[in-house]
A and B are shown apart, each in its own frame.
Chain A
């Protein structure tokens, strides 16, 4: 049984500790409320909507909408195309952007800041803008086809922007900044003395790259791949502008499903969640893998 003295003695300390706990929570409260209202609550609604039949919401929870994505060829193809395109773009941009990232971290030369600035420009371009840039560059009245026609007299590459390679080029366009910056911050942490040691032991450039640099930067490559993959998977602006025939992507299917009647809310919700699971799951898994590899090395 605590005496009154104990209570008096312990009170100031415990109240002080309590205040320390409450003040930061109070500072975070507006942010937490916003997150609850804008993220948690809406996602819960989306999940509920995806588990109900649009025609008969009262008939109880069902996985019908999710089954539909896999069974209806149109949606299945859109999902597969999305995966393929994102894989190609993520792999491509990770490999290509190694060059600028390496250049910016290992060498100093005049104009470096400007070059870095230019490469990061497309960061805030919506996919749609990049789609338009592709039309300008490689569309039917595009700059490059017209230039080539002038030079050779033949309509070369006309409308190339509307085909699959054009789509990949467009996606690479807006992944360049992300891939370069992610790789750059990883390469900056890499100890250049490792390479020097290998060089002094007689390894040539290729050996240094494949046996010293590559194993060390593998986690960075994986996390860059993860970032670019998730971003590509969710993007549909390019296709919205280019509108390729006989070709679709999952986010575009959601978009049209929602805007063009008759809308199937349940199906659109299920597709949105499928997209979220694939994009977030892959990104999260790969980032964890990268972190584990980094941990194993250290």
Chain B
């Protein structure tokens, strides 16, 4: 029987950690739209001269000035999802179901970027393709960090149940390859592809280290909006930008948790 004092100790520490995580998020979300003096915060750094309780001017300012940046980031994230599905799902199937000499090495190579510093990889991409600096190179950088997630989810799913037997059963019943693909393999991978897509989307949306160096001019990715507001704007506008960021990433993380706790552990190494 696990001990009660142990439970109380662990619970207390966990609650403290939760408070540390939630408190600044709460202050940021409230600070983005509630008048600072109503929050007990008295500083001109916090907000403008308005006196209403709620003040959404920061959001309209952001939409006017950075709307295209947010759109670019969303397009980029969706592009990553599409390419990851096209490239990593077939490869994942091959690696998990028909391993060939060197396939272990391929898998390690795919996962390698996750344990390499983002700045090193962006410097490497710039060294090789410096003249391509721009949206295309940003996409390349994002792919390096998103493909591993899709591949891991797909291979983990294919290894966790016996697709082989299902497939050969289908074949013995006379199913052609395309029939097996669309009626046996893909339906069984639907869940993994959904979790993988969400992971890829969330990672791409939150990526900053690679995007900032690899991009040039406008539009930048959304985390660059954050950098821009943090360094040049009032705390209220910065808070509003952070709130928009959170409004996209938190639902994605919740959906990942909800769809599959096990696959969510795959996030553990992402930077």
Contact = CB atoms under 8 A, between A and B. Distances in A.
A123 B203 CA distance: 9
Contacts of A143: 23-24, 27, 41
A177 B271 CA distance: 11
A119 B1 CA distance: 26
**Secondary structure dominating the interface of A:** helix
B74 interface: no
A196 B1 CA distance: 7
Given A31-B106, A182-B268, A122 B117 contact: no
A151 B147 CA distance: 51
Contact of A136 (B5, B18, B31, B93): B31
A136 B214 CA distance: 29
A199 B223 CA distance: 51
A106 B9 CA distance: 13
B143 A185 contact: no
Interface stretch (A5-13, A35-43, A66-74): A35-43
A273 B121 CA distance: 9
B269 A227 contact: yes
A37 B106 CA distance: 14
Contact of B205 (A49, A124, A131): A124
A42 B124 CA distance: 5
A190 interface: no
**Size range of the chain A interface in the assembly:** 35 or more
B117 A234 contact: yes
A46 B120 contact: yes
Interface stretch (A21-29, A56-64, A290-298): A21-29
A173 B209 contact: no
B30 to A, nearest CB: 10
A174 B253 CA distance: 15
B247 interface: no
B17 interface: yes
10 contacts: A39-B124, A49-B127, A99-B13, A113-B257, A115-B18, A126-B206, A132-B28, A141-B41, A146-B43, A234-B271
Interface of B: 1-3, 5-7, 9-11, 13-14, 17-18, 20-25, 27-28, 31, 40-43, 45-46, 86-88, 90-91, 93-95, 97-100, 103, 106, 109-110, 112-113, 115-121, 123-129, 140-141, 143-144, 147, 151, 202-203, 205-209, 213, 223, 226-227, 230-231, 235, 238-239, 242, 245, 249-250, 252-254, 257, 261, 264-265, 267-271
Q: Nearest 5 pairs between A and B by C-beta?
A: A234-B117, A24-B94, A42-B124, A99-B13, A126-B208
Interface of A: 20-21, 23-25, 27-28, 30-32, 34-35, 37-39, 41-46, 48-49, 96-97, 99-100, 102-103, 106-107, 113, 115-129, 131-137, 140-141, 143, 146-147, 150, 169, 173, 176-178, 181-182, 184-185, 192, 195-196, 199, 205, 227, 230-231, 233-237, 240-241, 251, 254-255, 258-259, 265, 268-269, 272-273, 275-276, 279-280, 283-284
